[in-house]
Amino acid sequence: MRLARRLRAERDPGELTLGRLAVLGRLERDGPATASALAAAERVTPQSMARMVQHLIDAELAERDLDPADRRAAIIRITEAGRRTVRQDRGKREAWLAQAMTGLTDVERELLVLAARLLDRLADS
Is the pLDDT assigned to residue 53 strictly greater than 90?
A: yes
Output the pLDDT for position 123. Answer: 82
Residue 1 has pLDDT above 70, yes or no: no
- Number of residues written out for the chain: 125
**DSSP characters for 53-122?**
HHHHHHTTSEEEEEETTEEEEEEEEE-HHHHHHHHHHHHHHHHHHHHHHTTS-HHHHHHHHHHHHHHHHH
Question: Residue 67: is its pLDDT beyond 90?
Answer: no
**pLDDT beyond 70 at 55:** yes
What mean pLDDT value characterizes the chain? 91
Domains and CATH numbers, the chain: 2-124 (1.10.10.10)
Identity of residue 125: S
Using CA atoms, how far residue 109 sits from 45, 65, 95, 99, 117, in Å, is 37, 44, 16, 13, 13
Which are the contacts of 34, defined by CB distance < 8 A and separation ≥ 6?
67, 73, 74, 75, 76
| Residues 87-116: tens digit of each pLDDT | 998 898 889 888 988 999 999 999 999 998
Q: How confident is the model at residue 13 (pLDDT cuts 50, 70, 90)?
A: low
Which pTM does this prediction carry? 0.77
Contacts of 46 (CB under 8 A, 6+ apart): 35, 36, 39
The mean pLDDT of 12-28, rounded to a whole number, is 89
Bigger pLDDT: 83 vs 116: 83
